[in-house]
Amino acid sequence: MTDDAPRRRRPSTIRIAVAAAAVVVVLGGAAAVVTAQSGSTPATGTGGHAGHLSATPASARPDPAPVRLGPQGRHPQFIVECDLSHTAPDDPIVLPGNPGASHLHEFFGSHDTDAFSTGESLLGTDTSCQNKADTAAYWVPALFNGDERVEPDELIAYYRTGVGVEASQVKAWPVGLNMLAGDPGAEEPQSTGVVGWTCGASDHLTVLPRDCSPRAPLALRLTFPDCWDGENLDSADHRAHTAYSDNGSCPGTHPVHIVQLILALRYDFDADPSGLRLASGSMITGHGDVMNGWSRDELEHLTALCLDRGEICGISSNRTDV
């Protein structure tokens, strides 16, 4: 685990105002706009960690439709900003109880996350997130430029309603819910509606990174499922208990509309991207995991205050997006 002392932020990073006692509602201004682009159905591969791949037919996993996420997008949401907590070759969802058995991951949220973590064990732990009630665990594969690790600057978690979903139907996650987005064993390009690379806050998502400027460095966008079967916190393939909504509707097998998570990771990288690779393999193997260890009361409070009321809670960055 890294030193728990606060990390120095980039001058243009987001300053979030969502907290247990005070929420700033912003409905416009010069805020960044984040967009989940629609594309082809995510590919399923045969490599990567065992059990981390989807057994669900591609036709059963519709792409999220295009939607604007930032305050300018006027889509109900609340936002949490998290610094990097630590880096470790652990995966408490896919390889629980097996420390060091995974490829290298970057962890955000609870500082206590390790191979033995559960949602319950994360409750009340110290966190790298600005909202101290967010003791969930978020992780993504480490990024390398050749043999040099590229450390992520920060993670911004957008908690929102699914596209076209009636806000009053959306439920907060139960403690211990595990979810994956993207495929670490992908052998074909994945949908940019689930995994996409961009520069800064641009809504132009691509399968592979492109050249970025110092004012708008490399960023990764991950979109998680927003439908749940209502019973299981996990499943054998770690995917079958969740699904993506389609035009505001959840499939009959996954009838519960849950809060949708979109992760935006920013890297201090604006060089030639041709040497980039992920710890899971090539750059098309982008993916992320979340284990819910949020305070029950706070997650339900924010879901009711922001999503159920159709509000946008938080302040987003005005960093250049091109």
Position 1 in a domain = no
- Name the strands in the sheet holding 242-243, side by side, starting at the edge strand that comes first in the sequence: 242-243, 227-228, 256-257
User: Is residue 10 assigned to a domain?
Assistant: no
Confidence at residue 73, expressed as pLDDT on a 0 to 100 scale: 52
C-alpha distance from residue 237 to each of 240, 254, 280 (Å): 6, 16, 17
Q: How many structural domains is the chain composed of?
A: 1
Specify the pairing of strand 242-243 against strand 227-228: antiparallel
> Looking at residue 74, what is its pLDDT?
67
Instruction: Report mean pLDDT in 10-residue bins for the chain, 322 residues.
Output: 43 35 33 34 34 35 40 72 98 97 98 98 98 97 97 95 92 98 96 95 94 96 97 97 96 97 95 97 97 97 93 58 38
State residue 20's pLDDT score.
33
pLDDT score for 33: 33
Where in the sequence is the domain holding 51, given as residue range(s)?
36-309
Q: Identify the three-state secondary structure at position 266.
A: strand
| Pairing of the two strands 287-291 and 178-182 | antiparallel
Is residue 241 domain-resident? yes
Q: Is residue 1 a contact partner of residue 301, using CB atoms and an 8 Å limit?
A: no
Could you tell me if residue 52 is inside a domain?
Answer: yes
* pLDDT at res. 43: 34
How far lies 31's CA from each of 6, 13, 103, 146, in Å? 25, 12, 35, 34
Residue 26 lies in a domain: no
User: Within 13 Å and on the Cβ side, how many CA atoms surround 13?
Assistant: 23
pLDDT at residue 21 in the model: 32
The answer to whether residue 40 is domain-embedded is yes
* Assigned domain for 210 exists: yes
Q: Which residues contact 294 (CB under 8 A, 6 or more apart)?
A: 133, 134, 135, 136, 173, 175
E-assigned strands of the chain?
Answer: 35-36, 67-68, 77-82, 84-88, 105-109, 137-141, 143-145, 148-150, 152-160, 178-182, 195-199, 218-223, 227-228, 242-243, 256-257, 260-267, 276-278, 287-291, 312-313
pTM of the model: 0.78
Q: Does 147 fall in a domain? A: yes
